[in-house]
């Protein structure tokens, strides 16, 4: 879909939702089936995914574990939001690289330290956007996309959030030394 078509799509959707709020209401569902061990098959209706625990946690390591899937979902949602809001705000976004790092203390989920938070305590986002648009326009896209991100909104506000943004002109070398212009692969560390 071209940037113009993407902008038109979301302008029509927004207009329809303003006129008829019922168009905006929806729901999502996943059905999870687990047999022996920790491996789960997750049916989303139109596709199936898998999850498993790593062998170090008693699983067979046959698929990503829930923490990996959640980080991947968060990073993908942010990247897609930057592309969508870039189109809506007429700010060209040529490539996006999102690195999501989550810090946690497993004592909380293990129930051995009642004063330790259960789950993520801190999330760090390193976002690199390649664009020939003015940096202020790209920063505006990121601010709006982050503020209106459904995945960020679904997470506890008690999780400390650190955002780092690098805006590169198209064709400029990235901090890793590679020329920008091709979408880079998002990565996340192996944290639960």
Report d(CA 189, CA 192) in Å as an integer.
Answer: 9
The pLDDT of residue 68 is 96
Condensed to tens digits (0 to 9), the pLDDT of residues 2-56 reads 989 999 999 999 999 999 999 899 999 999 999 899 999 999 999 999 999 999 9
**Contact of 93 with 141, CB cutoff 8 Å:** yes
- Going by C-alpha positions, the residue among 34, 80, 84 that lies closest to residue 59 is 34
Structure tokens belonging to residue 106: 């497993």
The pLDDT of residue 174 is 67
Residue with tokens 């901090």: 175
189: pLDDT strictly greater than 50: no
What are the extents of the domains in the chain? 30-63, 65-192
At 161 the three-state DSSP class reads strand
Report d(CA 137, CA 143) in Å as an integer.
Answer: 10
Condensed to tens digits (0 to 9), the pLDDT of residues 88-110 reads 999 999 999 999 999 999 999 99
Instruction: Please give the helix or strand (H or E) that residue 99 lies within, else none.
Output: strand 95-104
Could you tell me the CATH superfamily of domain 65-192? Answer: K homology (KH) domain (3.30.300.20)
């Amino acid at each position: 879909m071209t940037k113009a078509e993407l902008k038109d799509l979301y302008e029509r959707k927004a207009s329809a939702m303003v006129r008829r709020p019922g168009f905006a209401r929806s729901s999502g569902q996943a059905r999870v089936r687990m047999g022996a061990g920790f491996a789960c098959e997750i049916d989303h209706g139109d596709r199936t995914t898998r999850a498993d625990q790593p062998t170090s946690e008693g699983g067979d390591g046959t698929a990503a574990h829930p923490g990996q899937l959640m980080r991947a979902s968060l990073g993908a949602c942010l990247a897609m939001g930057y592309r969508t809001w870039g189109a809506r705000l007429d700010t060209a976004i040529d490539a996006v690289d999102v690195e999501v790092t989550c810090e946690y203390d497993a004592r909380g989920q293990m129930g051995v330290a009642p004063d330790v938070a259960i789950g993520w305590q801190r999330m760090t986002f390193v976002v690199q956007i390649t664009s020939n648009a003015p940096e202020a326009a790209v920063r505006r896209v990121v601010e709006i996309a982050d503020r209106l991100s459904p995945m960020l909104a679904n997470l506890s506000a008690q999780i400390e959030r650190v955002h780092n943004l690098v805006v590169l002109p198209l064709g400029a070398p990235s901090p890793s030394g590679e020329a920008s212009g091709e979408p880079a692969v998002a990565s996340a560390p192996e944290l639960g």
